[in-house]
Amino acid sequence: MKKGAKVLKFPKGFLWGAACSSFQAEGAWKEDGKSESIWDVFSKKPGIVKGGSDAKIAIDHYHRYKSDIKIMADLGFKVYRLSTSWSRIVPGGTGKVNEKGLDFYDRYIDELLKYGIKPFVNLYHWDMPNVQEQKGGFRNKETAHAFAKYSVAVVKRLGDRVKNWTTFNEIKHIWEGCYNSDWNAPGLHLSEKINNQVLHNTHLAHGLAVNAMRAYSTNDINIGLVHAMWIRMPRDPENKKDLRAAEKCFLDKNSRLLDPIYKGEYPDCMWKKGAEPGINKEEMKIISTPLEFFGLNVYGGCDVKYNSKNKSGWEEILFDPDTPVTAMNWGVTPKAMYWGIKHIWDNYNIKKLYISENGASYTDTITHDGRIHDTDRINFLNQYMSEMHRAIKDGYKVDGYFLWSLFDNFEWAQGYTQRFGCVYVDYPTQKRIWKDSAYWYKSVMKSNGIRI
C-alpha cells in the first residue's frame, strides 16, 4: 500500500476473495467420466481460439487444486467463487449422475473449508454438455428442466456445506454471445424469434433451478444470480438530463434480462411482432422466485448524455481517446463501478449485492529479478475499489468483492494470450508465480482497506 496516502476502510465483515470458472481452469477434459462440453467441441474449430490452443489442460486445476487453494489461504481469502461443470457431473446432459465428478467437488469444498474459505458455487459458466446442445441447447425448453435436475444433483451432494449459490454466470452472454456470435460456443446465429426463445428458456432454467435447489437442499441456502453489463455513466453527473439519460439507457439495455427475474414480466414492447417466444404466466412466476443476493460483474462502461434528437432520449459516448486501455482493449473506466452498483440498487428490489467479478488483463512478463511487476493492474484495481468504497459511503451496500481472477487461465477465444490473474501461470511448466498485484491484494484483504 502507498505510504502517507488516504486510507479507505471497508465495512467490518467485508468478504474478499476471487472467482474463476471450471472450464477455464480445471483441464482434465475427459477424465473421470466427464463428457465434452460445447467449448471442448468449439475449440477444435480452426481459427476460433488464438494460437490454436484449447483447455484440455488449462491450468491443471483439477489435479493441482490443493496447492492452489493453499495459495488462496496464504493470500488471506475469506471467500472463493467457483463453478461446477455440468458435463463433469451429468455427462449426458440428463440422466445418470457421474459420482466421480461430484466426488471432485466434494473434495474441493472440503479443502476450501479446511482453510476457512467460504465457497460460493455457480452452476453454469458456459460449458453445457455438448450432447445437450445437440438436443437444442437453450433453444429447447427441455434443457431448462435438464438444468434444474443437474442443479439438484449438485445441491444434494454439496448443500450441507455450501451456503451460497448462483445459477448462471451472465445470462446476457448466453443470449447475446453463445447463440449470436462466431466467437462463443456453440457459435450459432439464430433468427430473432428463436434467439428470444433462448433468452426465455434460460430465464426459465434459472427459476426452475432455484425452486428445485430449495426443495432438495438439506439446509437453508442463499441463491443469487451473476449479471454483467457495460455500465452506463452520466456524461455530466451534475446535469439532471444526463443522469436520467444514463439510467434510461441502463434500463433499455438490461430490463429484458432483469425484469423477468425481479418484476415477473418482460418489458413492454420488447418483442417484435412475430418474434415472440412461447411464454405462460406460470413460467413467469417460476422465473421471478425471490433471490437472496445479486452478483454484479464490473469491467467497464461508457458515458451517456441526453439527446433529444434520438428516439431513446440518450446517446452513448465511447471513452475518450486518452482513456487508458487494458490488454483486451477495454477502457479503464473506474467510475463504472460506482454507477453499476447505484443503477442496480436504485432500480431493482435486491437484498444484498456482491461484486462477483472485477479485474483486468495486462501483458505480464517475468523480469530479471524473477518477479512480475504488474503496476497497471494494481492501479486498475485500486481505482475500481475506490469507486466501490464511494458507493458504499453513499449508502449502496456491498457485502463482498471477488477478484477476476486469482490465476491466469484459458480466456475463451483469446486462449492463453490474455492474463487476468494476480498469480502468473507459466503454462509449459504450470508453475505459479505471485505477481506484485498478489502481494498488494494480500495487504488489501489483511487491512480491509486501500490507500489512494
pLDDT tens-digit readout, 310-346: 999 999 998 788 999 999 999 999 999 999 999 999 9
Q: What CATH number has the domain spanning 7-451?
A: 3.20.20.80
Mean pLDDT of 442-448: 99
Q: Which of 4-8, 202-206, 349-353 has the lowest mean pLDDT?
A: 4-8
User: Cβ distance 41 to 407 under 8 Å?
Assistant: no
Mean pLDDT of 100-121: 99
Q: Which amino acid is at 244?
A: R
Q: For residue 269, what pLDDT is reported? A: 80
Q: Phi and psi at residue 446, in whole multiples of 5°?
A: -65, -40
User: Cβ distance 184 to 178 under 8 Å?
Assistant: yes
Query: Which DSSP string do the residues of 43-83 spell out, in sequence order?
Result: TTSTTSSGGG--SSSTT-HHHHHHHHHHHHHHHT-SEEEEE
The rounded percent of the chain whose pLDDT value lies above 70 is 99
Share the mean pLDDT of the chain.
97
- Cβ partners under 8 Å of residue 335, min gap 6: 233, 301, 387
Collapsing DSSP to helix, strand or coil, 361 comes out as coil
Cα 15 to Cα 200: distance, rounded to the nearest angstrom: 33
User: Cβ distance 69 to 111 under 8 Å?
Assistant: yes
Q: Which active-site residues does the annotation give?
A: 170, 357
Cell matching residue 117: 474459505
Cell matching residue 39: 467449448
Q: For residue 2, what pLDDT is reported? A: 54
**Which one, of 62, 56, 88, lies nearest residue 415 by Cα?**
56
How many other CB atoms are found less than 10 A from the CB of residue 98?
20
Q: Which amino acid is at 391?
A: A
Tens of pLDDT, residue by residue over 174-211, are 998 888 889 999 999 999 999 999 999 999 999 999 99
| DSSP, res 25 | H
Collapsing DSSP to helix, strand or coil, 240 comes out as helix
Q: How far apart are the first and last CA of the chain?
A: 9
Q: Phi and psi at residue 173, in whole multiples of 5°?
A: -65, -40
Mean pLDDT of 246-258: 97
46, burial (CB in 10 Å: exposed 0-12, middle 13-18, buried 19+)? exposed
pTM reported for the whole predicted model: 0.97
Cell matching residue 350: 435486491
| DSSP, res 328 | T
Cell matching residue 62: 483439477
Helices (H), 162-266: 171-172, 192-216, 240-262
The yes-or-no verdict on residue 3 having pLDDT over 80 is no
